[in-house]
Structures are given as C-alpha cells and as structure tokens.
Amino acid sequence: MRPEIAVTGLGLVTPAGNTAEENWAALCRGRSLAARDPELDGLPVDFSCQVTGFDAVGELGRSQARRTDRFVQFAMVAARRAVGNAGLDPSTWRGERVGVVLGVGSNSLSTYVTEFCHLGAGQPERVSPLALPRSVPNMAAGEVAIDLDARGPNFTTASACASGATAIGVARDLLRSGTCDIVLTGGSESARSRMTATCFTRMRALSRRGAEPHLASRPFDAARDGFVLGEGAAVLVLERLSHARARQAPVMALLRGYGAGSDAHHPVAPHPDGEGAARSIGAALQDAGCAPRDIGLVNAHGTSTPLNDAAEAAALTRVFGLDVPPVTASKGVIGHALGAAGAIQAAYTVLALRHQMVPPTANFQGQDGEHKLDVVAGAPRPTVKDAAISCSFGFGGQNAVLLFTGP
C-alpha cells in the first residue's frame, strides 16, 4: 500500500490577501481585483492584479528584503506561515528530512531589465553583484531552506504555468519514496514586470479591457479576450499521514492523486481537443483510485483566453461526459500568477474542501462553444462530494492535475 499524503498547513500571499482567511473571503465575494498598475504605466496593457499590504522589510528584515526579489520574498513569507499553520517548529525538526520543492515559471525580469540597462549603457561596473543570486528561479526554494533550516532535497520545477502544481506532485513522490518526512511545496511568481507585460501583449495573450480592468478576467465567459497578469505565492506542508498522526497534527486534506503529461502539440497553444489535459485528469483519477463520479469540484486552470478555456472545456467533457462537476476558476478574482498559479489553486482547493463550498467565478455571464460547463457564478455553492481536482496547464503543452479529498 502506498502511504497517504496529508496537507497539514498552508500559507498564502496573493492579491486576495496574505492569510488563508482573507483569501477565502475574497474568493467567495467573486469580484475581480484587477486595477491600474503604476509599474505598467504607459504600456498598452497597464493593469494587473497586485499583492497589496505586503511589507517585505517588516516580514523579513532589511537585509533579507534587500538581497531578494519579490517572488523570493513571497515564497519565504508563505513558507513561514505554512509551517506555523502546520504547528511545526524548524528549531526542533530534523532538517535533513525536510525538503523544499517550489515551482517558478520564470526568473525576475524586472531585475534583469535594470541590470541590462547598465550593461547596454557601457557601465558594467554598475551591475549589481546580487543580480544573479537574487533573481534566478531556484533562489525561492534556496532562500526558504536557509530561512527554515530545511536541509533535505531542494529544487525548483519549471513547467510554465503548471510549475506550482508540478512541484506539489514531485513533493508527493519524495514523501512516498521515504526520502523526506516533510516537504514544503508550492510556487511563487511576480509577473508584474514591464517586459513580461510587453511580451504577453505582443503575443495577444492579455486582455485589452483597459477601460474596465475589473471586468477583464472572465474565465469561460463568451466575452473573454485574454488573461490578467497577477502575482503571489502559496506553500503547502505535505507529510505522510502516519507522520502527521504521530505528531498529532491537524490534517486539512489528503493529496490522493497526481497526473501529468504533455500535449506534444504546439509551443504556446493547447491541443484544441484537450487531449493531453484529459489524459492528465484521467491519470490523477487513476492514481487516486477515484472515478469521475466521485469528484464534486473542478478548480479549473481557466485563464480567460479564448483558446485555453475552450481546450479545457473540451478536456473536461472528454473525461466527465455530460456530468462535469461544478467548475470554479480563481483567476477571475486574482489574475494569472503564472508559475505560482497551480500552487495557489491547490491551496484554494484545500480550502474549498474544508468549507464544503465552491467559490464563484468572477465576471462569468455565459459560455460559447460546444462544450458547456456548470460554471459556478454569482455566489458560492455548497458541494456534498468530498473530492476535488485542480487543473494546471502551460506553454510547451505542460499539464499537471492534482486530486484532493477531505481528511
């Protein structure tokens, strides 16, 4: 028998708030948090979903805040909160048995733009010696390990917008194999750089609804025209259920299934029939020993782009037929945090199971296309089934699906 994997703590830093309670309340209100972004002023798309009320110096101290970029700061704070939520004390744990696996989709383009400007101006002496160690993707996991004395396996997964979900699946495998007793896992990203916004704008991936930013992110809605940039982090504490029970830890949920695969279709477009996504959903169900009828909630990738939402709807229909479970898509509220999105969704799925509620999808009014879903909108809806899937997909045809149940 494979050991069961428990979620015993979580920490969140998102546009919806810096605590689980704040995030859940914002999700249930179902209103987008997109607004004008001074960082993007003057660009064709000048709005995003921003983390507000985050004081890096107050949270981490001046020295740590200075040497780290924003995505690393988010990860460190989310990890501290997850560990505290799990009732763990890093001063007493066996650090060599504690791993850190975090998903990061990209590196910190804001830092690189600044330093490249120095180089382009013929002033290499002005390039910061901290430019690399503060901004390369693995430093989110590295700084978390330093901060919390986690001396087990430590690395970053990069599977585009599926990175956070991939990290959680890999962390699960470290526990199943006995390599670790505890793994801090999730993802972090701050995508609000001028270069990131410009690249996605040139690709026509971002919503152009600049006159009404709060209506721009609208997953699965017939009027969707692109996603909204976001940022944030989520960290989950995973343990074998036996380990959690031995220390009498409260169990928030069980991570029962993980499925991953590739479309092998196109660099940026999903398979139009959702073939790879459907296989990954099926793999997660099989891994968990669940049937489609057991699932009471789908936390969809739901980017609000025409192609991705249509492909995801097709994938869900391939797996569930005419009985697709109630669907929610949190990017309507918090935007798209790219590499962190799958981790944030996973945390939201755990919260939904704990509250036995499906949060509404912001700005959803009606669907197009042939694959119609039961998209929850307007107000939260109770769910009576104790299992949920969280879907994450990304550039390169990356697919990762997590299946959680109640404890």
State the catalytic residues.
Answer: 161, 301, 336
**Residue 329, CB-side half-sphere exposure with 13 Å CA sphere:** 27
Residues 6+ apart with CB under 8 A from 40: 46, 47, 48, 192, 194, 197
The rounded distance, in Å, linking the Cα atoms of 232 and 192 is 10
Dmax over CA atoms of the chain, in Å, equals 63
Report CA torsion sign: 22, 23, 29, 35. positive
Compute and round to an integer the Cα radius of gyration of the chain. Answer: 20
Residues 6+ apart with CB under 8 A from 341: 161, 164, 187, 189, 230, 301, 331, 392
The rounded distance, in Å, linking the Cα atoms of 311 and 163 is 19
The rounded distance, in Å, linking the Cα atoms of 165 and 190 is 17
Residues 6+ apart with CB under 8 A from 147: 64, 76, 79, 80
Residue type, 51: V
User: Phi/psi zone of residue 10: left (φ > 0), alpha (ψ -120 to 50 degrees), beta?
Assistant: beta
